[in-house]
Amino acid sequence: MTQVSATSRAAGDGAMPVGLEALFRSSYDGLVRLASAITDEPRDAVQDAFVEAYRRWPQVCTYDNPAAWVRRVAVNKALDRARRRGSERRGIARLVHRELAAPETATAERLDVRAAISALPERQRLAVVLYYLGDLSVDEVAETMAVSAGTVKAALHAARSRLERLLEVDDDAR
Question: Cα-flanking dihedrals φ and ψ of residue 29, to 5°?
Answer: -60, -45
The pTM assigned to this predicted structure is 0.59
- What is the tally of structural domains in the chain? 1
Q: What are the tens digits of pLDDT across the range 24-47? A: 999 999 999 999 888 888 999 999
Which residue type sits at 66? Answer: P
> How many Cα neighbours within 13 Å face the side chain of 26?
12
Q: What are the tens digits of pLDDT across the range 131-165? A: 887 888 899 899 988 899 999 999 999 998 888 88
Q: Is residue 111 part of a domain?
A: yes
Please give the residue range of the domain that contains residue 164.
Answer: 18-173
CATH number of the domain residue 73 falls in: 1.20.140
**Terminal Cα-to-Cα distance of the chain (whole angstroms):** 38
